């Protein structure tokens, strides 16, 4: 816990100072658009908090995770008079967002009654923690972390699209083409990983309902083949990789390896580290063979199974 807090404070306080020091200052238009986008993010965060408190469904931010970046990307692109690189980046964000929204929807995340939908199981587990069982403690956690912090993070990992909008940005070149290929590759990688998990969980539930004999991964209770035999979280790996790739667009545009927009992808890496750690704790408590799986397979980076 202390290590996580230290890394969070370091990323939120030290990284912005260093990146602002080493990169050119924001232009007046960038500052203006950054403030406008932050206000939109704040509005979304407050809406998520109010709706979650009224409905007692705390996955409201999960619902906008794949939608808000599309809004930010096209809002900034339109305000920047349709810069070529920004159009490309907005299209890529839209492809990612539509794909992820589709995946979220088939898991019953959305509902015509927008405040309903399946809640992430991890929020229920977290509510059982002694320090979060108090209504007020949970309400504060919901406001500051689930609603405010996560919506700020969604906004921040999208802002590299604004960092490319400078008067001296380099024109589109072959590096943008390479980054486009990498971004789409990671979207495809994540899609395959999600589909493999979907197929496994669907068949697993059918076998259980029909009282059939469970073998292999179905007997173990978790998927450990396909991409999941190379990485315990191949979807998380791809999600992190594509947003790091998204940040690199700002490097190509400005020739600055460190710039003010890097904080979003760094905070995202930290979030996924903690999320994976929490999820694996739950899995290890449910499935006796999960600990052996952890020892043999890399957490994020896809590697051949360790002997």
Give the per-residue pLDDT at 3: 59
Instruction: Answer yes or no: is pLDDT of 79 > 90.
Output: yes
Give me the mean pLDDT over the 254-280 stretch. Answer: 90
- Tell me the domain boundaries of the chain: 2-296
Contacts of 49 (CB under 8 A, 6+ apart): 60, 142, 143, 146, 147, 148
Helices (H), the chain: 2-9, 15-22, 28-55, 60-64, 68-79, 84-106, 121-127, 135-141, 150-156, 160-163, 174-209, 217-220, 234-254, 263-286, 290-296
Note the pLDDT of residue 150.
95
The better pLDDT of the pair 12, 110 is held by 110
Q: What is the mean pLDDT of the chain?
A: 91
Cβ contact 114:50 at 8 Å = no
Q: Is the pLDDT of residue 21 over 70?
A: no
Q: What is the pLDDT of residues 126-184, one digit of tens each?
A: 888 888 989 999 999 999 999 999 999 999 999 999 999 987 889 999 999 999 999 99
pLDDT digits (tens, 9 = 90+) for 295-307: 999 999 998 665 4
Weakest-pLDDT range from 41-45, 180-184, 210-214: 210-214
Q: Which of 17-21, 114-118, 217-221 has the lowest mean pLDDT?
A: 17-21
* 185-194 per-position pLDDT tens digit: 999 999 999 9
Residue 265 tokens, joined: 């992808």
Mapping DSSP to helix (H, G, I), strand (E, B) and coil, where does residue 69 land?
Answer: helix
Is pLDDT of 10 > 70?
no
How far CA 65 is from CA of 32, 155, 160, in Å, comes to: 24, 10, 17
**pLDDT tops 70 at residue 231:** yes
Q: What is the pLDDT of residue 177?
A: 98
Average pLDDT over residues 208-226: 93
| Gap between the Cα atoms of 127 and 133, Å rounded | 6
- Pair 86, 164: CB distance under 8 Å: yes
In this prediction, residues 48-70 reach a mean pLDDT of: 96
């Amino acid at each position: 816990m202390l290590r996580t807090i230290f890394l969070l404070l370091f990323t939120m306080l030290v990284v912005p100072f260093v990146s602002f020091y080493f990169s050119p200052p924001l232009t007046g238009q960038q500052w203006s658009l950054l403030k406008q986008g932050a206000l939109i993010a704040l509005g979304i965060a407050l809406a998520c908090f109010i709706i979650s408190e009224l409905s007692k469904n705390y996955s409201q931010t999960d619902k906008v995770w794949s939608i808000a970046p599309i809004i930010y990307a096209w809002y900034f692109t339109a305000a920047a008079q349709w810069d070529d690189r920004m159009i490309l980046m907005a299209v890529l964000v839209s492809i990612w967002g539509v794909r992820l929204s589709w995946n979220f929807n088939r898991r019953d995340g959305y509902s015509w009654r927008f405040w309903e939908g399946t809640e992430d199981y991890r929020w229920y587990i977290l509510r059982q923690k002694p320090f979060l069982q108090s209504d007020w403690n949970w309400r504060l956690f919901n406001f500051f972390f689930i609603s405010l912090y996560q919506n700020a993070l969604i906004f921040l990992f999208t802002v590299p699209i604004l960092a490319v909008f400078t008067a001296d940005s380099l024109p589109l070149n072959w590096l943008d083409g390479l980054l486009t290929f990498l971004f789409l590759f990671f979207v495809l990688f994540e899609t395959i990983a999600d589909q493999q998990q979907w197929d496994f969980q669907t068949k697993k539930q059918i076998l259980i309902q029909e009282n059939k004999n469970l073998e292999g991964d179905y007997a173990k209770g978790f998927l450990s083949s396909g991409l999941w035999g190379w990485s315990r979280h191949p979807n998380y790996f791809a999600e992190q990789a594509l947003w790091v790739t998204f940040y690199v667009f700002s490097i190509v545009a400005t020739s600055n390896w460190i710039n003010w927009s890097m904080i979003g992808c760094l905070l995202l890496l930290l979030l996924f580290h903690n999320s994976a750690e929490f999820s694996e704790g739950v899995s290890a408590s449910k499935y006796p063979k999960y600990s052996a799986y952890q020892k043999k397979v890399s957490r994020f980076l896809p590697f051949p199974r360790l002997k």
